[in-house]
Structure 1
Amino acid sequence: MTLLSILSDLIVDAPIWTWGVAGAFAVGFTLLRYAVGTDGPRKVWLRWGLGIVRLFVLGVLCFLLLEPILRTLTQEVERSTMLFVHDGTSSQWVGEDSTARRLALTEWALHAPDVFIENGYEIESFIFGTQLSSLDHTESLRTEVDGSTTSGTSTVTMNLPRTDIGAAIEELNDKFSHRNIAGVIFTTDGLSNRGLDPEFGTQFLEVPHFFVGTGDTTSIRDVLVDQILYNEVAYLGNDFPIETIIKARGYKGSSVKTSLYVNGELVDEVVWSVNSELDAEKIRFQVPANKAGTEKIKIVSRLVGETARENQASEATLSNNSKIVYVEILESKRRILIVADSPHPDIAALKNAILSNKHQVVEVVWANDIDRDILPTHEILILHNLPKADSPLPGLVAEKIASNTPILFIGGAETDFAQLPIERTGIISEQSNLQESVEASLNTGFSLFKTPDAMEPLLMSLPPLSTALGKVRASNSLEVMLYQRLISLKTEWPLWAFNRDASGRRSGVILGDGLWRWRMEDYLRNDNFDVFDGMINNSIQYLSSRDDVRRFRISAPTILDEDERLKFSAQVYDASLNPTTDVEISLTLFDKDRKEFDYSFSTTSHHYTLNCGRLYPGEYSWISNCILDGKLYEESGDIIIKALKIEMSSIPANHSLLMRLSDKNGGQYLGPLSSIDVNSEKWSDLVFANVRKRDILHEFTERLDLIRYELILWILLGAFTLEWVVRRRQGGY
């Protein structure tokens, strides 16, 4: 905005008679001192001078008592703004003449804004992949693909791994919906591989949108590994399938060899023929899981035969001829058994939540059908609405409760918790057979595990659970996660809690049924089940875990995509296993060449965090240590950063989408950006003809009580001091 002018005036909203009283007061006290009094200075001119000072001070004080207000009117002009948005992903450089297209984009991004600035527009520039980032249009751009680089004094790299055009459009709308925007100029190839379809369901700014096309719109000759279909987890001793889809464009009559490598060793390969100009082949491999850990699976496809060398030279890019995925080989899954009295919607909600964790399996049996052979094969037992007052617990379940098996008790109004041993449930129930509805409130002091971040705001909107009417008292060993809330009255009665008895046996209790409504509400609010599923799975994880007495613990991911940030968290405990942050933790990261990168953790409340940012694809290892009570503690691990090659597709640029989007939003498709000879002025003229340039005048009025200005206080104090000093030197009082 441009500051136009500042106007100020005084407002005194006081009756006329108060002005007279104030003036009479100031004049009267001045005359009383210097016209009637006899102890003032003898020199006439000095008496007059001091009288004027006294009159000024008293006059200003009386004026301030009338509560004058200083009103300031500021006028600012908001000029029309043109938004430049540039696709920062690497799909634009696939195909022929990529160097010319890189230079053309750099030329357009650097010089097109100048034309608009000369015509009185404000300019804001952005670059996007999956989200918007501000871009100074005076910076050079660097575009890198397959090691080829075009740059000046650049700071921005145009090789982001994913494209989400819809998210960029939505974010512009969020940022600028209340700004004076004349139009938006998008530069993109029209290929989006993440998020919503930009043509449907995307909220645009209500201004003309103009599109400049990048990328290669011609049919590109290429062989690529299009997809790898696989399970992220497999189990030791089994064979797991790897299915891949290979596409070949423009190589009819040629042969393609597809090879499977596991941890760098060739396991299998298939040769197939390309029968059309655009052909696809689905190939299925079986891979044995011989050892636990993370397996590196690489699929490589390449042309073979007499003309293979010539054909490979004509490919648009070789970087998409291979793709790597990682499969985690586990020794076994966590097995969970749900024993229920009868069918209930909660059972399905619990089962789906448990199965959202790929490391768990779940089985459901009815209390009347339980078999002795099934119980020992499960690590965790969940009882739903058992026992009831008219039906005692099955003997096999009672035996399981008496054992060391972790158990989660879930029951509503029909459940008789009095039949269950207090040392396992941790509650003393004084409930009746009547039913009531209770809501949940979070115990902010709960610390057994980290609750989902979005849980607390969700709790306020969750429907109530059905429970038995009455009071529930918690034993000293009970750790409460959620308390019962009766309408607006918060209680200290547990709703969702965990118990650990003197023998170290762990159990949990949920005093209510209707959990399926919570899962549905989670989806309605957040478009996913993450909060509810997290609550269930965190509870199961706690119940199944053994006590960790390590004083130094680090949590780190094992596999990340290249566009994700690598984050660590750590905890340090004193000799009493209380968390402390009084020590320093260092971490060293090693790449595959053993090059070292040193980091230090920062502290937040009772734990440590470290954000290493985004790393290049590859395999890394890390070692972290700290010195606690004079002893060195050390943790280590491995991390795999997966390369994303979804931008290396041979799909031609989709400029027809850009034409439809521009027509839909009152703009125009300006044309393809294919050579260095970019006619910025011609395209700018097309934009000027379709946008409405207007300047908006903003007026801001500020009102401030004059008595709040400190300068007036210091002036009055100075005048009073001057008068008093002079009178004292002249013998007055």
Structure 2
Amino acid sequence: MNSVFQSSASLWWLPAIIAFGVGVVYVLYFYKANKTGLSKFQLFLLASVRFLTIFIIGILLLIPVIKTLNHRVEKSIIVFAQDQSKSLVLTKDSNYYRNSYPKQVDQMVHALGSQFEVKTIQFGEQTDSLAWGFNQTETNFENLFSLFINQSIQGNIGALIIASDGIVNRGISPIYAASNLAFPIYTLALGDTQSVKGMAIRQIEYNKVTFKGNRFPVAVSVSANDMLGENIEVEIYHNHNKLNTQALPVDSKNYFKKLNFQLDADSTGINDYSVRLLSKNSLDANPANNEQHFYIEVNENQKKILLLYNGQHPDISVFQHHIESNQAYRLEKFEASRFADAIVKYDLIILYQLPSKANYLDNLLPQIKKVEKPILFVIGQQTSVMAFNNLKTALQIGQNKELYNEVVPLFNKNFNLFHATFENSSFENFPPLQVPFGSFNEVPAGSCLFYQKIERINTSNPLWFFAESDNIRYGFIAGEGLWKWYLTEYFQNSNHAITNELVLKTIQYLTSNNRKEPLVIEIPLVMDQQKPILFNAKLYNASDELINDPDLLIDVLDEKGNVYPYQFQKSEETYFINIGNLPVGIYKFQARVRLGDELLKREGKFIVQESMIEHNGLVADHQLLYTLANEHSGQMYFPNQWNKLTENILKNNQIKPKIISERQFIDLIQFKWIFIVLLSLLSLEWFLRKYWGTI
């Protein structure tokens, strides 16, 4: 440790302090020394005490500090990440992974601990501290790597060891997700790369919502390994009643077939369907893959959506794709100048970049307001901002010049009109939207889904929000470029889950009944067994204000009639409750609350299903693990190479401890002993003068 004395004032004040102290001492003890009757020794002693007191006080007036520089050595951190997904124990080596394998991990951690700090974590559907069980229903490498990218794990990371079978079924590509990690990655290749004999339902494709009287398609993908020459029967059931059967003669060693069925939607509500595979001559190594359930909600009527546009734009195709993917809606789109139909037959009107410079919609907008139809405005470079402002909607844009900002979305956690499953991190790599440059009016926080983030600056300008006026619901998207999000999301995640949720939940909110129900219960229709059951609820008073003063109760009923009572918790103006995990089955709920003299009730259903995603692919992907290690200066090892893995990490000269230098500034005035010294000096001087009779 090195220490240096410093002062916030100039040290040139030291001579002045010394001179002042000498002057005071001279006047007090030597100017008229012959009148005091004290000896030279007594005078010099008193003078020394007084000078020392003045000098210390003078030094303290300079606000001195002591700067210390400390050096400490921080060990490198080795992170061991264990894949805890079910796929590892669904193979023939399940006993090894449950019994011997954890002990081998402990031995390796102990050996590495002699030189490094070792942290053990697990990953699957979520990341956490390591607890053996192999019960995770998903494998998501992206969540693992985000711990380091978001600095949830901090310190001198020396290396990451990933023990996995390489089977990925959630999140973006591990190679892409790990591209920004700067430390070596070692992989421990687990699982079996050899396919096992058996058949499996790989995927069931269907629309979650249909309408009574419709025939709806269901596509079932079936695979079979090492079953050449055998027959598979594919059966579809509705509420345990067989609807259809197709026979598949297996004609190859690695067989795959996609079957299409047409089913009738006869009864409204939630309908339980299942697909089963049967083979008389084969013993399946993984029979859990041979049956899957899926659920379809059958409604009475479709809602019609009208999309009017000024000119063609890629965003229109995005809206069309997502709306037409849901059978609850039927989309019709027209160029605004060519539309001549009746507005009253539509449930929602999307005005894409309208009113425009070429079409102010002078005749159409009064018709829309007259029939009180909800409107979704999408603002873009074709929009006439002046004409839009003249509509006097909840969004007003002050613009002097026709310029546009590049804006990324900033998710508003206080948004409460519907439940969003995404977070700000979901949009980190999304390209910006083109938004008019200008001033935006503020909107209520609860109705704004996204604010604008401009060049890394968070603003309160609304980007995506909702409003209600004169019994009409409005939605506003203040920028164009959704097609870029659509393409980027597919590139990163191989799906369109986020853009699909944004578009469909926006439409669902706008087309729902404008009149607020006093009690609203929110819960997804279908949930996986391993995930907690979360209810959200809203209660409105007669003035349509959110309140949560009364206690809200709910009963959950299983298929056997057992009743589980709960009471909601209160959060700001709404309610929520987490009732934990439930067994697989169809559940009913009955919620009730007393609002004044009225007892409000709401009923509904939800389904808890077993997640089969880990059963669908049991062939280990060691090539992925090899690539991941190779691209990050590491190596791939197998469970019989524990010693080699440990030895190579211990001998890796690139994994070094870090010397941390810490500077610390300490004010001298903080030391209590200095005041004790001052008090002692003043007391000594007074005592001596009193004793020698000078006072």
Category of TM-score, reference length = shorter chain? 0.7 to 0.9
Partners of 1:377 and 1:21 lie apart in 2 by 93
Q: 1:228·1:244 contact (CA, 8 Å) conserved in 2?
A: yes
Q: Deviation digits for residues 229-260 of structure 1, max 9, x if unmatched?
A: 22222221112122212222233333333222
Partners of 1:187 and 1:711 lie apart in 2 by 56
Name 1:145's counterpart in structure 2: none
Between stretches 268-277 and 241-250, larger displacement belongs to 268-277
Q: 1:262·1:295 contact (CA, 8 Å) conserved in 2?
A: yes
Deviation at 1:589, TM superposition (A): 3.9
Distance 1:722 1:94, change over 3 A: same
Name 2:608's counterpart in structure 1: 641
Name 1:363's counterpart in structure 2: 332
Name 1:127's counterpart in structure 2: 122
Name 2:74's counterpart in structure 1: 78
Name 1:582's counterpart in structure 2: 549
Q: 2:124·2:140 contact (CA, 8 Å) conserved in 1?
A: yes
Q: 2:91·2:618 contact (CA, 8 Å) conserved in 1?
A: no
Name which of 233, 242, 263 aligns with 1:266. 242
Deviation at 1:187, TM superposition (A): 1.6
Q: Deviation digits for residues 273-328 of structure 1, max 9, x if unmatched?
A: 33343323433332211122222221121321xxx4xx43xx32222221122222
Q: Does 1:402 pair with 2:370?
A: yes
Name which of 88, 93, 116 aligns with 2:89. 93
Q: Does 1:569 pair with 2:569?
A: no
SS at match of 1:190: coil
Q: Does 1:378 pair with 2:339?
A: no
Q: Does 1:109 pair with 2:105?
A: yes
Q: Does 1:698 pair with 2:660?
A: yes
Q: Does 1:282 pair with 2:258?
A: yes
The two structures have a TM-score, normalised by structure 1, of 0.74
SS at match of 2:66: strand
Q: Deviation digits for residues 502-531 of structure 1, max 9, x if unmatched?
A: xx4x2649799xx53466479779979888
Q: 1:80·1:182 contact (CA, 8 Å) conserved in 2?
A: yes
Distance 1:76 1:295, change over 3 A: same
Letter in 2 for 1:266: K
Partners of 2:633 and 2:440 lie apart in 1 by 64
Deviation at 1:108, TM superposition (A): 1.9
Distance 1:185 1:24, change over 3 A: same
Name 1:229's counterpart in structure 2: 205
Partners of 1:667 and 1:485 lie apart in 2 by 38
Deviation at 1:264, TM superposition (A): 2.8
Distance 1:537 1:722, change over 3 A: farther
- For structure 1, the 5+ residue unaligned runs are 1-5, 136-154, 674-678
Partners of 1:443 and 1:132 lie apart in 2 by 23
SS at match of 2:120: strand
SS at match of 1:25: helix
Name 2:523's counterpart in structure 1: 556
Deviation at 1:347, TM superposition (A): 5.1
Q: Deviation digits for residues 63-102 of structure 1, max 9, x if unmatched?
A: 1122322112222111233221211111112232421332
Q: 1:425·1:509 contact (CA, 8 Å) conserved in 2?
A: no
Name 1:194's counterpart in structure 2: 170
Q: 1:87·1:188 contact (CA, 8 Å) conserved in 2?
A: yes
Q: 1:10·1:68 contact (CA, 8 Å) conserved in 2?
A: yes
Distance 1:537 1:230, change over 3 A: closer
Partners of 1:58 and 1:102 lie apart in 2 by 76
Q: 1:190·1:655 contact (CA, 8 Å) conserved in 2?
A: yes
Partners of 1:466 and 1:551 lie apart in 2 by 39
Partners of 2:416 and 2:11 lie apart in 1 by 71
Distance 1:376 1:579, change over 3 A: closer
Letter in 1 for 2:330: V
Distance 1:228 1:461, change over 3 A: closer
Name 1:624's counterpart in structure 2: 591
Letter in 2 for 1:379: D
Distance 1:248 1:408, change over 3 A: closer
State the superposition RMSD in angstroms.
5.3
Partners of 1:592 and 1:43 lie apart in 2 by 106
Q: 1:220·1:650 contact (CA, 8 Å) conserved in 2?
A: no
Name 1:254's counterpart in structure 2: 230
Name 1:316's counterpart in structure 2: 285
> Matched residues, percent identical?
22
Letter in 2 for 1:516: E
Partners of 1:46 and 1:696 lie apart in 2 by 59
Partners of 2:612 and 2:240 lie apart in 1 by 19
- 1:172-183 map, 5 Å: 172=148, 175=151, 179-183=155-159
SS at match of 2:575: strand
Partners of 1:219 and 1:267 lie apart in 2 by 32
SS at match of 1:320: helix
Distance 1:211 1:472, change over 3 A: closer
- 1:14-163 map, 5 Å: 17-26=12-21, 28-29=23-24, 57-118=53-114, 120-135=115-130, 155-163=131-139
Partners of 1:484 and 1:184 lie apart in 2 by 37
Partners of 2:117 and 2:356 lie apart in 1 by 72
Q: Deviation digits for residues 430-483 of structure 1, max 9, x if unmatched?
A: 999x9844779999999894698769999996434499xxx9999xxxx99999
Distance 1:266 1:443, change over 3 A: closer
Deviation at 1:114, TM superposition (A): 0.8
Partners of 1:82 and 1:644 lie apart in 2 by 33
Q: 2:412·2:451 contact (CA, 8 Å) conserved in 1?
A: no
Partners of 1:122 and 1:387 lie apart in 2 by 63
Deviation at 1:399, TM superposition (A): 5.1
SS at match of 2:480: helix
SS at match of 1:516: coil
Letter in 2 for 1:190: G
Letter in 2 for 1:463: Q
Between stretches 177-186 and 235-244, larger displacement belongs to 177-186
Distance 1:205 1:37, change over 3 A: farther
Letter in 2 for 1:646: I
Q: Does 1:711 pair with 2:679?
A: no
Distance 1:303 1:704, change over 3 A: same
Letter in 1 for 2:663: T
Q: 1:388·1:416 contact (CA, 8 Å) conserved in 2?
A: no
Name 1:146's counterpart in structure 2: none
- 1:240-251 map, 5 Å: 240-251=216-227
Distance 1:545 1:669, change over 3 A: closer
Name 2:304's counterpart in structure 1: 335
Partners of 2:171 and 2:475 lie apart in 1 by 39
Q: 2:315·2:483 contact (CA, 8 Å) conserved in 1?
A: no
Distance 1:173 1:34, change over 3 A: same
Distance 1:682 1:716, change over 3 A: same
Partners of 1:692 and 1:482 lie apart in 2 by 44
Partners of 2:183 and 2:416 lie apart in 1 by 52
Deviation at 1:545, TM superposition (A): 4.0
Letter in 2 for 1:247: S
- 1:346-361 map, 5 Å: 348=317, 351=320, 355=324, 359-361=328-330
What is the count of residue pairs matched by the alignment? 676
Partners of 1:680 and 1:450 lie apart in 2 by 50
Deviation at 1:635, TM superposition (A): 3.1
Distance 1:431 1:204, change over 3 A: closer
Q: Deviation digits for residues 345-393 of structure 1, max 9, x if unmatched?
A: 6755654575576633221234564455x54432233456778999896
Name 1:11's counterpart in structure 2: 6
